[in-house]
Structure 1
Amino acid sequence: MKAVINFEEGKGKVALQEVPIPKIGPKDILLKVQAVGVCGSDLHMYHNIQGFAVNRPVILGHEFSGIIAEVGEDITLFRQGDKVVSETPAYVCETCVYCRTGQYQLCPDRRGFGVLENGAMAQYVKTREAIVHKIPEGVSFEKAALTEPTCVAYNAVAYHSRIRPGDDVVVIGPGPIGLMCVQMAKLFSPGRLTIVGLNKDASRLEVAKQFGVDEVIIADEQDVVQEVLKNGDGFGPDLVLDAVGVSATLKQSIEMIRPAGQITKVGWGPNPVGFSLDPLIQKAVTFQGSFSHNYPMWEKVLHMMEKGEIDPLPMAKIFTIDDWKRAFDEMDSLLHAKSIILPNK
């Protein structure tokens, strides 16, 4: 089968190669992949700038949907031909306190698709029953493949953040996660919804407008904190959703947030902070990280997609697997927010 493989450490060490179709065990499911999203982490591995361990060589891709091609003999909930989408943890221990309490995304032994285990940027992928969900009627494979980044946004906005109708909300970063945070926040009827980006984000900021933001701030032209503080009573927003993996945006978040407000950090990177966090204490700010997602969130997001309440597709462009490099490069150059690869087209 064809697969996009990060074959060794180093910049640009990614290629389309022929590899065997995975063999499955009694508890495994083999998916014929219909759509797989390109994540920012895939691009980081492409450039070898990721801030996490990678088990190379590895097939990339962890945002995927498909048709079940084969099931192991112990599988009871699914059968060949089912249209499904899979979560991202290829392996968890199932015995630690986090696995036992449904927070398996925090399992210390978690191994994700496309990083520590072979992923879905291929014609077939092996997954496991516990993390597979049926795709609702009317939800396309392409849309279902973006359940994962949508769940990241759901976890950040609807689960970790305390957001109420009328709140002043700022989203920093118009990447796929930031854009889906916009869509998710919009469901809570914020009083004002602002997105912060750069000039080079022009096309992605247009998508943010389509998703319903009230204001766009261009960080390389405007003083972000000053512009945000012009709104409302001047004390700052109730909630900042930071979807950028650099320290500068966290500093801006701390400077702009109102006393007793909230900062939810979704974007992350390897570099140290490099500034004092004392203002968090002085302002009595709630500061939390939000990572990944779990089974109930996937079920909720898929239902929201079915009802038309959430739609990530306007931010995406579709490519065949033979055109994977253009899919990477166009997303990397910010021509669009998200690339989707169709491995079997």
Structure 2
Amino acid sequence: GLMGVQLASHLAKCNIICADIDDQKLNTAKELGATHIVNTKESDASQKIMSICNEKGVDSIVDFVNAPPTVKLDLSVVRKRGNIILVGLFGGSVELPLVSVPLKAITIQGAYTGNYTDMVELIELAKKGVINPIVSKHYTLDEATHALDDLKNRKILGRAVINP
């Protein structure tokens, strides 16, 4: 998600709304280019997002979590003829009122990997300093189990690196 914020702020001159349950991640997203941040633990999160969008809804949503609560939020704030791209692999099921898809004429797309050309472009952006990986912790190979525990307990911001 944080890498996505960096890419979006470089590629598109638009509002970038970052929604998350973690204030530290939200503050980092703001530093990296998010124009608005919304904590989804707050009961009025969807109303805040709609307010940012002049009550019309979000043009395009990239969901890096893809869990039932995030997809439910996506569906509630996407504008008519908007796009939802599901990237995350969290999974689960969500009830989808099927009539909302044609009535709102929304597009829902899955994305998981890019291609060679995408990778070359990303490496060039990293070389130029346009995007910077967020590595919050380093572990030795012996600490790999601890790294997984930290990941499970949401103690890692961005990525962690395990060195042999």
TM surpasses 0.5: yes
Equivalences for residues 217-256 of structure 1 within 5 A: 217-256=38-77
Consecutive unaligned residues of structure 1, counting only runs of 5 or more, are 1-177
May I ask how many residue pairs the two structures share in their alignment? 163
More RCO (CA 8 Å, sep 6+) = 1
AA matched with 2:38: I
User: 2:5 aligns to what?
Assistant: 182
Judged with a 3 Å threshold, the aligned counterparts in structure 2 of structure 1 residues 277 and 220 are, in CA distance, closer, same or farther, namely same
User: 2:116 aligns to what?
Assistant: 295
Aligned residues of 1:242 and 1:267 also touching (Cα < 8 A): yes
Aligned residues of 1:204 and 1:334 also touching (Cα < 8 A): no
Aligned residues of 2:38 and 2:45 also touching (Cα < 8 A): yes
AA matched with 1:326: H
Identity of aligned residues (%): 28
Quote how far apart the aligned CAs of 1:284 are. 0.9
Aligned residues of 2:26 and 2:38 also touching (Cα < 8 A): no
User: 2:146 aligns to what?
Assistant: 326
Aligned residues of 1:254 and 1:280 also touching (Cα < 8 A): no
Considering fraction of residues, name the structure with more helix.
2
Aligned residues of 2:88 and 2:112 also touching (Cα < 8 A): no
Post-superposition CA distance 1:179-221 (Å, at most 9, x none): 11111111124331111111xx233223212212122211112
AA matched with 1:208: A
Aligned residues of 1:239 and 1:261 also touching (Cα < 8 A): yes
- Structure number with bigger Rg: 1
d(CA) in 2 for partners of 1:324, 1:282: 48
User: 1:175 aligns to what?
Assistant: none
d(CA) in 1 for partners of 2:17, 2:46: 12
d(CA) in 2 for partners of 1:222, 1:214: 21
- TM value normalised by structure 2: 0.89
d(CA) in 1 for partners of 2:12, 2:116: 26
AA matched with 2:18: I
Quote how far apart the aligned CAs of 1:288 are. 0.9
Structure 2 residue aligned with 1:335, among 131, 155, 160? 155
Give the superposed CA RMSD.
Answer: 1.7
Structure 2 residue aligned with 1:266, among 70, 87, 104? 87
- Give the ranges of 4+ consecutive aligned residues of structure 1 lying more than 4 Å apart after TM superposition: none
d(CA) in 2 for partners of 1:205, 1:331: 17
User: 1:214 aligns to what?
Assistant: 35
User: 1:307 aligns to what?
Assistant: 128
* SS at structure 2 position matched to 1:259: strand
* SS at structure 2 position matched to 1:280: helix
